[in-house]
């Protein structure tokens, strides 16, 4: 995963929720752009969830970025 691909999904207008798939098999849903922050270095991201849980993720561990397109799921690396 590249920082540029992540920023493209994060900055899309209108924003569309997306899913980050991690190397350990977990997936993190990004439901709203205000619930995610990218570190200044671009190495890590911080994600808040509706249940008040949060995750800090090393971008090098993101294997896929999934964005729904016209009701279907698509994936981009």
Which CATH number characterizes residue 44's domain? Answer: 2.30.30.100
Over range 58-76, report the average pLDDT. Answer: 76
**Any domain includes 52:** yes
Q: Which domain holds residue 7?
A: 3-68
**Rounded CA separation 69/52 (Å):** 28
**Any domain includes 74:** no
User: Residue 73: pLDDT above 60?
Assistant: no
**Any domain includes 45:** yes
pLDDT band at 19 (very low <50, low <70, confident <90, very high): very high
**Any domain includes 35:** yes
Higher-scoring residue by pLDDT: 1, 23: 23
How many domains does the chain contain in total? 1
pLDDT per position as a tens digit, 28-49: 999 999 999 999 999 999 999 9
**Any domain includes 73:** no
The predicted model scores a pTM of 0.82
């Amino acid at each position: 995963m590249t920082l540029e691909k992540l920023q493209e999904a994060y900055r899309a207008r209108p924003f569309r929720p997306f899913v980050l798939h991690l190397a350990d098999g977990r997936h993190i849903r990004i439901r709203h752009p205000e619930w995610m922050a990218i570190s200044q270095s671009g190495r890590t991201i911080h994600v808040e969830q509706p249940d008040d849980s949060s995750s800090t993720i090393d971008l090098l561990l993101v294997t896929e970025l999934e964005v729904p397109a016209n009701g279907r799921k698509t994936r981009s690396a």
